[in-house]
Chain A
Amino acid sequence: MNAFAIAFVEFVVRLAGWLVLAPLLPGIINKVKAWVGGRRGPPVLQLYYDLARLWQKGVVLSTLVSPGFVAGPAVAWVAVLGAALLLPLGPIGASLSFHGDVLLLIYLLALARFCMAWAAMETGSAFEGMGAAREVSYAVLAEAALITAVLALSVHSGSVTLVTMLTPAAGAGAVLLAAGLFTVLLAENCRVPFDDPSTHLELTMIHEVMILDHSGPPLAAILHGASMKLLLFAVLLVEAVLPLGGLSRLAAAGALAAGVLVVTVGVGLVESLMARLAFRRVPLLLTTAFLLCLFALLVAWKGGDA
């Protein structure tokens, strides 16, 4: 009974952690961008204010849409949260862990993407159709890179369970893996150089244009889900590279937080110092990410004994 209560409390704390901490990341990125641009920038907590504001607003629905317009973002939000809960957090492990859970993680992310594209197509707008088409075309390449990265971790640790896969250090291929996963993180979260989250130009958007017609709580769910996805990828990247499993709980928590912060500031710096790519060049960069992960896989496979 006591053990169950502890497990329950731990689960609630973990859930609250994901929900509450995620919106910090976009705030930090925007601060970094503002700092490089010589501006003061919006407060770090801006996304929290936005979410609170959106939550209190009504929803404007087109007469053309099916319930999928609202269900899509809701399912996507739940799927991302589910994927986040599958991730082990260093020595604490995951809320839910079973043999092959890494496959579920990948499929949950794919489900979230499917639902977002579905909701985007609901209004029949040319803009959102274009955004959805771009999102899924680039996802094909980004997913290939992500799956290869997972394969590399799997071969390295000899496991398909996230807890065991992420416990040891990535080994010799760590740098390759980090570079590949960071690129995937940028692509999956629609950051520069793949997309520009702060642009107002509909014709150049990917993620932003898919949600143009959403408002109120569904939009809040989308924005919150996007920030959770960013945190998820940041945690995955840090854990894939750093051997957190061997540390004490406190040290692991500190290392994880520091790692996520470094990744977030890195995203902000990339966003500040690079122009975004032309769409026709995006596949090239994603293929590069795939190749980086592929070499990490080769290193894990053939170079493990050396």
Chain B
Amino acid sequence: MSSATSFALLANATSLPWADLPEWPVADFVRATAAELDRGARLCAWFGVPEGAGTRLVAIVAFDSDNTLAAARSTPFSGSYPALTATHSQAHLFEREVWEQHALTPIGHHWLKPVRRTDADGTAPANGEFFRVDGREIHEVAVGPVHAGIIEPGHFRFQCAGEEVLHLEIALGYQHRGAETALAGGPHRATLSQIETVAGDTTIGHATAYAGVLEALAGVEAPLRAQWLRAIALELERLANHTGDLGALANDVAFIPTSAACGKIRGDFLNLTALLCGNRFGRGLVRPGGCHHDLDAERTARLLERLRTAVADTEQAVGWLWDAATVRGRFENVGTVFPQQATELGLVGLAARACGLVRDVRYDHPAGWYRLAQAPVAVWPGGDVYARARVRWLELQRSGQFLLEQLATPPDGPIAEPVAAPAPDTLAVALVEGWRGEICHVALTDSAGKFRRYKITDPSFHNWTGLALALRGQAISDFPICNKSFNLSYCGFDL
């Protein structure tokens, strides 16, 4: 499929001179991107790069079955262009974002409103108008941005007929910190810390993607042992979050045994990351050129031993969840996303795999240690809450097994190498399969080798719309378990 492409091909965690990207006038560029998407590609990133008085659009697409990425750009323009969303829904948030950031209007976009821009007062996101359903029987329920639990802020607007949800619209942006703006002109001293806090629960994922981008720009590769350490940390992050999510799902249906146990075991996994690098969330472990902390033999042995216990504990706690008929009754056939919807929306990560789509960056676009060792992709059909819980469980088992195997055979060597300055006028792309799904970092350098544009696409950016669709026709009281089954990041979206 990718052999016929007019885009420039590149592999994951590699770079390409900016001038090598094919360019077209914007209408042709949109048509070319649409043709690639029709051919089976998936939109990973779509963003604007200001140039002179105008702006270029850049598209990064992934051909999963060919294990390759492809990139292209438009010529600079301003004003409006024919919307890609009109034919390909997966572009709808990207085009809203471009409209908001660069004032390029996609003609034919069905729902053009701000993504995360603040309103005129600068106090809250400019949510714009919400979609409304009319009728005497319809009532509107507004939830958030301040929630009853300790979670991040987001606003959910339900159109309901009694208990049934007809439509859900999600408005985010409450945590917009200007991450991409802050990264431009970098790398600075603070860049790595900023990257690590794009989504705090995916510290390793984002830091690994950033390191991949910088190494690609410098034309170096991290030592093997550093790649091994990164893979260990990434899988530990996955274990901790999946365990926490299964516990949270149990808690939302008031099933105490699993909820209580998983809350504790999540802490055990986080402590393993702390054993690895001194921080429970993996802050300060991954850095461009390698890793900052090494794992000596004695700590490796301890890590292995505690990992075995924690994995066994998880097995038991999650077993209670599957054994409880009342839990199954709550999870099955609730919040279903159909495979076709998932494909059209471009869902990524476990939300996509729970719809039966085989979509995993570790397998489709392996980089780093995953070129040498892999865990099987965990897929479950169904698309409902049960499927998403089940995929989490499969990944828990497989990542646990992967870790046990990898920890037993550590590679030798240094853990870091000096990184040269980023090459000028170069585009680098790195994808990492974080625990939520595909994290995409794209960096474009200027003539001095500084970041001209740094684009981050958190998996949540692709998947929030999936949650909105999952709620169609569901009982409003099932929203919490649907939401928890996706468990998307607010700050990763808001940047």
- Look across to chain A and name the residue whose beta carbon is closest to the beta carbon of B259: A37
- Given A275-B326, A276-B253, A278-B334, also A201-B480 (CB < 8 A): yes
A164-220 residues with Cβ-Cβ distance < 8 A to B are: 192-193, 196, 198-204
* Contacting pair A192 B254 (CB below 8 A): yes
Which residues of chain A come closer than 8 Å to B252, judged between CB atoms? 199, 201, 204
Report the count of interface residues on A (CB-CB < 8 A): 30
A199-B257 in contact given A193-B326, A274-B324, A280-B475 (Cβ < 8 Å): no
CA distance A281 to B477 in the complex (A): 12
Q: Flag if A278 contacts B475 (CB, 8 Å).
A: yes
Flag if A201 contacts B257 (CB, 8 Å): no
Is A3 close to B, CB under 8 A?
A: no
- Do B141 and A130 touch across chains, with their CB atoms under 8 A apart? yes
Closest residue of chain A to B320, judged by CB? A273
Q: Which of A193, A271, A276 has the most C-beta atoms of chain B within 10 angstroms of its own C-beta? A: A276
The distance in angstroms between the C-alpha atoms of A244 and B141, with both chains bound, is 50
Q: Are A273 and B257 in contact (CB under 8 A)?
A: yes
B122 to chain A, nearest CB (A): 28
Residues of B299-332 whose CB lies within 8 A of A: 324, 326-327, 329-330
Cross-chain contact of A278 among B142, B149, B330, B479 (Cβ < 8 A): B330
A291 CB, nearest partner CB in chain B, Å: 20
* Residue B260, interface by CB 8 Å: yes
Identity of the chain B residue whose Cβ is nearest the Cβ of A196 in the assembled complex? B254
- CB under 8 Å from chain A, chain B span 157-185: 163
Residues of A256-278 at the interface with B, using a CB-CB cut-off of 8 Å, are: 271-278
Q: How far is the CA of A204 from the CA of B254 in the complex (A)?
A: 11
**Contacts of B143 on A, CB cut-off 8 Å?**
202-203
Q: Which of B116-168 contact A (CB under 8 A)?
A: 139-143, 148-149, 163
Residues of B within 8 A of A31 (CB): none
Residues of chain A with a CB closer than 8 A to B334's CB: 278
Min CB gap B313→A, angstroms: 12
Contacts of B478 in A (CB 8 A): 278
Q: Is B256 an interface residue (CB 8 A)?
A: yes
Kindly state the separation between the CA atoms of A38 and B204 in the bound complex, as whole angstroms. 31
When distances are taken between beta carbons in the complex, the residues of chain A under 8 Å from B255 are: 274-275
A192 to B251, CA, bound (A): 12
Residues from 281 to 302 in A contacting B, C-beta threshold 8 Å: 281
User: Contacts A38-B260, A127-B141 given: A276-B149 contact, CB under 8 Å?
Assistant: no
Q: CA–CA, A200 to B326, complex, Å?
A: 20
Bound state CA distance, A26 and B347, in angstroms?
44
Q: Smallest CB-CB separation from B250: which chain A residue?
A: A275
CA distance A279 to B478 in the complex (A): 9
CB pair A279–B163 under 8 Å, yes or no, is yes
Bound Cα distance A201, B250 (Å): 13
Residues 439-465 (chain B) with a chain A CB within 8 angstroms: none
Interface residues of B (CB under 8 A from A): 139-143, 148-149, 163, 250, 252-257, 259-261, 264, 324, 326-327, 329-330, 334, 475-480
- Taking beta carbons and an 8 Å cutoff, which residues of A are in contact with B? 33, 36-39, 126-127, 129-130, 192-193, 196, 198-204, 271-281
List 17 interface pairs A-B (beta carbons < 8 Å), by A numbering. A127-B141, A130-B163, A193-B254, A198-B254, A200-B148, A201-B149, A204-B252, A275-B250, A275-B254, A275-B326, A275-B329, A275-B330, A276-B326, A277-B329, A278-B329, A280-B475, A281-B329
Q: Give 16 A-B pairs besides A199-B252, A201-B480, A202-B143 with Cβ atoms closer than 8 angstroms.
A: A37-B256, A37-B257, A37-B259, A192-B254, A193-B254, A201-B148, A204-B252, A204-B477, A273-B257, A274-B255, A275-B250, A275-B330, A277-B329, A278-B334, A278-B478, A281-B329
